[in-house]
A = this chain, B = another copy of it.
Amino acid sequence: MSEESVITAEKIDALYERLDEEAEASGYHLNPDREFTRGLVEGLLINEERYGYRACPCRLATGEKQQDLDIICPCDYRDPDLVDWGACYCALYVSDEVLEGKQEVQPVPERRPPEGQRARKAARAPAPGGEPALPVWRCRVCGYLCAREHPPGVCPICKAKRERFERFW
Please give the residue numbers on chain A whose beta carbons come within 8 Å of chain B beta carbons, in ascending order: 22, 25-26, 28, 69-70, 72, 74-76, 78-79, 122, 124-126, 128-134, 136-138, 140-148, 152, 156-161, 163-164, 166-169
Contact = CB atoms under 8 A, between A and B. Distances in A.
A145 B145 contact: yes
Contacts of A69: 163-164
Contacts of A161: 72
A152 B148 contact: no
B145 A76 contact: no
A136 B142 contact: no
Contact of A144 (B129, B141, B146, B160): B146
B140 A76 contact: yes
Contacts of A160: 72, 74
A26 B152 contact: no
A54 to B, nearest CB: 10
A141 B152 CA distance: 11
Given A79-B141, A145-B145, 18 more contacts: A25-B25, A26-B142, A28-B158, A69-B163, A69-B164, A72-B160, A74-B141, A74-B142, A76-B140, A76-B141, A124-B166, A125-B167, A126-B168, A129-B131, A142-B146, A143-B146, A143-B147, A143-B148
